[in-house]
Amino acid sequence: MSKIFTRTILLVSFVSLFTDIASEMLYPIMPVYLRSIGFSVLLIGILEGVAEATAGLSKGYFGNLSDLLQKRVVFVRGGYLLSAISKPLLAIFTFPLWIFFARTLDRFGKGLRTSARDAMLSDETTPEHKGKVFGFHRSMDTVGAAIGPVFALIFLYFYPEHYKWLFIIAFFPGLIAISLTFFLKDKNSSSTQQLINSTADKPGFFSYFRYWKRASPGYRKLSSGLLAFTLFNSSDAFLLLALKNQGMSDTWMIGFYIFYNLVYASLSYPLGAIADKVGLKTMLILGLTVFSFVYFFFGFATSMVAFGILFLFYAFYAAATEGISKALISNMADKADTATAIGFYTSFASIFALLSSTLSGLLWFSIGPKAMFMISGAGVFAVTIYLILILGKRAR
């Protein structure tokens, strides 16, 4: 066990845990807070769209730059720093331009760190153990995602509508995360400045697009399938909205979200370990199949028990795919291109997720939530068949 989970893997995982405590503390109340300071639903949508597009494009660029410099820590530390300081900034001033700046800063931080962090995890292990490593990291990350909303619920129970204080408080777990990054070290000891001075190592912002041409055929096929899946996978906010449609209170809605994250966290490592034995491809296919059935039946659910069962299986899907997909991608890329490969995929995944949520919103309001969920489920089932056909036995 100790040989699998190195000091770096443990540190990165705890950094993610504390960061998610901070982020998920604010996730359930962000729309309510924005409405309370005068943001319309349209403006909230534009804000989130700009923020997510910033994160998406940044993941590709900084992943490419991380590979060229063969440096990980500077991107990881800088990304977590920007996300941490963005939290209190959201509470200091309330005029729209400032809110746009602070929220985009948070997402820019995510884009700055994500590819380098995942490459660091990949660098620390072997293909035989990547399911365990990415599963463990995802588990720790999701534990934070469960703790954050619990704290928000408790705080708002005693101090209703004191939203600004939550943004201030969220800075402190972020500060712990930043502190832990100072114990991380790069494996490569070459001079960063020497690499920066080389004109060959100064990529343009969109230069990571060129990775597609030199990527392996397996990577291109896998990424195409995963991006098609992303196009059918709407925001989790629609699942929570389905609960509200059944007349559930905010407390129950957040409670289901906490339940989902707890199950997700508890399953991520075990499923990652199983995936290392049965194959990463097999686990990915199983997870996507479960997703398609969950979405298909979500539009028909009306009772607490039905929603509980569906959220349970939805957590299984998340644990079986999130870390597994990155592990598969890292296995299909050259070691020198790990961050670029992950960054290319996550960059486009962010953009596709934005398109997916927009399309899902249009379907929701035009033909109803039941049809929206059924269309998404059917689309993902078709993508699953495609992945079964194109992923060979080597795609472990």
- At residue 194, the pLDDT reads 42
- Per residue in 215-265, pLDDT tens? 888 889 999 999 999 988 877 778 877 887 788 777 788 788 889 988 999
Q: Is the pLDDT of residue 201 over 70?
A: no
- Tell me the mean pLDDT in the region 296-322: 91
Mean pLDDT of the chain: 86
- Tell me the mean pLDDT in the region 191-206: 53
Q: Is the pLDDT of residue 197 over 80?
A: no
**CATH entry, 9-183+215-390, from 3.40.1180.10, 3.40.50.720, 1.20.1250.20, 3.30.40.10:** 1.20.1250.20
Q: Confidence band (pLDDT; 50, 70, 90) for 42?
A: low
pTM attached to this predicted model: 0.82
- At residue 192, the pLDDT reads 44
Q: Is the pLDDT of residue 335 over 90?
A: no
Selected residue with higher pLDDT from 76 and 368: 76
Q: 3-class secondary structure for the chain? A: CCCCCCHHHHHHHHHHHHHHHHHHHHCCCHHHHHHHCCCCHHHHHHHHHHHHHHHHHHHHHHHHHHHHHCCCHHHHHHHHHHHHHHHHHHHHCCCHHHHHHHHHHHHHHHHHHHHHHHHHHHHCCCHHHHHHHHHHHHHHHHHHHHHHHHHHHHHHHHCCCCHHHHHHHCHHHHHHHHHHHCCCCCCCCCCHHHHHCCHHHCCCCCHHHHHHHHCCHHHHHHHHHHHHHHHHCCCCHHHHHHHHHCCCCHHHHHHHHHHHHHHHHHHHHHHHHHHHHHCHHHHHHHHHHHHHHHHHHHCCCCCHHHHHHHHHHHHHHHHHHHHHHHHHHHHHCCHHHHHHHHHHHHHHHHHHHHHHHHHHHHHHHHHCHHHHHHHHHHHHHHHHHHHHHHCCCCCC
- At residue 202, the pLDDT reads 64
Q: Confidence band (pLDDT; 50, 70, 90) for 392?
A: low
- At residue 152, the pLDDT reads 86
Q: Is the pLDDT of residue 195 over 50?
A: no
- At residue 229, the pLDDT reads 92
- At residue 45, the pLDDT reads 67
- Tell me the mean pLDDT in the region 315-340: 89
Q: Is the pLDDT of residue 199 over 70?
A: no
- At residue 2, the pLDDT reads 53
- At residue 233, the pLDDT reads 87
276 touches 323 (CB < 8 A): no
- Tell me the mean pLDDT in the region 159-173: 88
- Per residue in 83-135, pLDDT tens? 999 999 988 888 888 988 988 999 899 999 999 999 999 989 888 889 899 99
Q: Confidence band (pLDDT; 50, 70, 90) for 191?
A: very low
- At residue 26, the pLDDT reads 86
Selected residue with higher pLDDT from 5 and 17: 17
- Tell me the mean pLDDT in the region 180-187: 91
Name the residue among 382, 270, 285 with its Cα closest to residue 328: 285
- At residue 41, the pLDDT reads 61
- Tell me the mean pLDDT in the region 203-225: 85
Cα gap 91→100, rounded to integer Å: 12
- Per residue in 283-293, pLDDT tens? 999 999 999 99
Lowest pLDDT segment from 67-76, 205-214, 310-319 = 205-214
Q: Is the pLDDT of residue 193 over 60?
A: no
Q: Is the pLDDT of residue 394 over 60?
A: no
- Tell me the mean pLDDT in the region 132-161: 88
Domain coordinates in residue numbering, the chain: 9-183+215-390
Q: Is the pLDDT of residue 190 over 70?
A: no
- Tell me the mean pLDDT in the region 336-364: 86
